[in-house]
Structure 1
Amino acid sequence: MEEKNKQKQAAAKARADALSPADRSAIAKQAAGKRWAKEHGLPQAQFGSSEQPLVIGGIEIDCYVLDDGRRVLTQESFLTSIGRAGKAKGGQGVRTAVDKLPPFLAATNLQPFVDQELSQPTTPIEFVTPNGARVFGYPAEMLPEVCRVYLSARDAGTLMSSQSHIAQRADMLVRALASVGIVALVDEATGYQEVRDKKALSALLDKYLLQEFAKWAKRFPDSFYKEMFRLRDWTYPTVSGQKPGVVGKYTMDIVYDRLAPGLVQELETRNPKNDAGKRVSKHHQWLSEDVGHPALSEHIHAVTGLMRACDNWPQFMNMLDRAFPRKGASLRLEGFD
C-alpha cells in the first residue's frame, strides 16, 4: 500500500511539473473560486465558458448554467446585447441596490411598461464561473422581457431619443429569438437536437440578426446632412444632436419624391405614423435590396454632389428641379415594393 501511495504521489508531482506557469495559475484560481463559492454560499456555473460565448449579431454574450439550474448572462454581456455600455459611467451600476430596478429599467418613462415580475427589486446574481472567476449576471429569461419593455414604450411613443437605439436592438433580438425558438422546439419534438451541431442554433440566431442589422444600416451618409445644413446656414451638428423637424420634409422632397412615381404614397401607406407622430421604421427599410436600395444610394450620391456645387438653398433647389424633377403620383416603379 505504501509503495502504491508513493507511485501516486510521484505521478501527481510529474503532472504538476509538466504544467506551465499559466496552467498552474489557472488551476489555483479555479480552486480558490470554488472555495470562495462554498464559504460564501455562492452558486457555481456548471456549464459555460468565456472562451465559447453565445454570438448573436456579431456580439459575444457570456452565458452560463448554474448548479441550481438557472441560466444566466453576465451583467456586461446583458447590457451590451441591448445596446448599452457594458459598464456604467463612473464605475456605477456593478450592483443594483436591493430596493431599486436594474439600471436598464430605471428610466421614468419605462415604468408604465414594466410588469409586476420585472418590477420586483433585483440585484445581479453573483456566481463563480468554471474557471474560478467571480462575476455578476442576470437571468437569461430577463433579456426578452426587457426588450418588450422598450418596444412597448416605443409603440406608445414615449421613448426618449437616447433610448431609440436600444429599442431598435430590442426589436431585432425579439424577432431573432422567436425565430430560433420555433426551430429549437421542432428539434426537441423530433429528437434532432441530439444529433444537430452544438452551435447550430447560435449560428442561426447570428445569421438572422446580421440580416436584421443590415436593414437598419445607415443609408443617408453624414455628408448629405452636412451639405444640407451648410446650404440652410445651420450649425452642424446641433447642440442636442437632433436634426430640425423640417429635415424630414426636405428629405421626402429631395429624395423620395424624385426616386419613383407613386413611391411616397406607397411608403406612407405601408409605413404610416402612429398616434404619437412617429414611424415604426425608416422609409428606406421598405425599399427592395436589388432595385430600391441601389437607386436610393445613387440618388443620394448625386444630390450630395449638387449640394456641394451650390452656394445657397435656392440655387440648389433650382438645379435639383432641373436635374431630378419630382416624379408625381401617376405611376409605380417595379422593384420599390
Structure 2
Amino acid sequence: MGAGHSKAGKARLTKMTAAARSEVARAGALARWAKADPARASLPKAIYGADDRPLRIGEMEIPCFVLEDERRVLITGGMQDALRMARGGSMVAGMSRFELFASGDRIKPFVSNELMERFRNPILFLTPTGQRAHGYDADILVELCEAVLAARAAGKLQRQQMTIAQQCELIMRGLARVGIVALVDEATGFQEVRKRDALHKILEAYISPELLKWAKRFPDSFYREMFRLHGWDYDPESVSRPGVVGKFTNTYIYERLPPGVLSELHTINPKDEHGRRRNRHHQFLTEDVGNPHLERQISATTVLMRASDDWPSFKRLFAKAFPKSGDQIELLPE
C-alpha cells in the first residue's frame, strides 16, 4: 500500500467516532485471524453476549453467550471462578479441570456418565468479537452443583472441597427462583428477540395438563398491535396495562363468541369487592370448542389491527369483518 493510501486511511480514521474506529479494528482483526487460522470458519459463533454482561448470581459473575444455534454457553474459566476451583493445572493427563474434578473418587459416584462425557467435550466457539473461547452448556452448571451437593449430603467430600459445595449451594439457591435459561437470556440481552413462546414451551414440558389452563392464551402480538394503534409504549415483560384494555378485550374478543357465552362467564367468574376477577375468562372455556374459537377470534382481530394505521381505521375494518346487530360502520375518522 502506498504512502498516499496510508495517509488517506489515517485521515479517514481520525474523522470516525470511537465506536466506528473500534469496529474497523475488529473487522481487521477478524480478517487476519481467518487468514492465519482457516479452521476458525468452522467454529460456532456467539451472536449474543459480551464480557461486560456476565451472568450474575449473588457476587459471582460468569461470562455467558448465546450461540447461533441458540445454545446457552458459560465460559469454563468463569465457572471455575464461581465455584472457587483452582485455575492452575487446568489440564492434567489431557483432562480438563472439570473432568479432573468430576473423576475424583469422592465425586465420581454422583456424576452420571452423560455428564462426564460432556465435561470431556467442552464447546469451542468464537465470541462476538472473534476470540476463541471454551465453554459448557449452561445446564451443566446445575448438574454439577447437584452432584457436589449429593456428595456432601453423603459425607463424602474432603475438607478442601467444602468451599466448592458452599458455592454450589449458593448457585442452586440463586437459580431456585429463576430458570437458568431465562437468566442467561437476560444477561446477554437475548430475551429481547427470543421467540415469545420459548419459555412457555419449557413450562409445558414441566407442568401437568391440569395446570396448563393458567398458561398464557393471549399472545404478545395481540397487545403489541393494540398498543401501537394507541401510541402506547409496550413492554412484553410487564403485566401492567391501561384499564381500557380489558374493555377492548371484551368488545372485540369475548362479545364475538356465540350468544350467551360472555354472560355465562360473568356469572361463573364474577368480580370481587374490588372490581377484579379471580380468574381469566378463558380458563373456563373448553379445550375442544371454546378455546379454539377464542384463538381464531384473537388471531383474526390481531390481523386486522396489524393492517390498520390507527385505532379508528381498525374499528371500521373490524365492524366490516364482524358485523352484529347494532353496529354502525364508521365512514369517517373519529
Normalising by structure 2, we get a TM-score of 0.46
Normalising by structure 1, we get a TM-score of 0.46
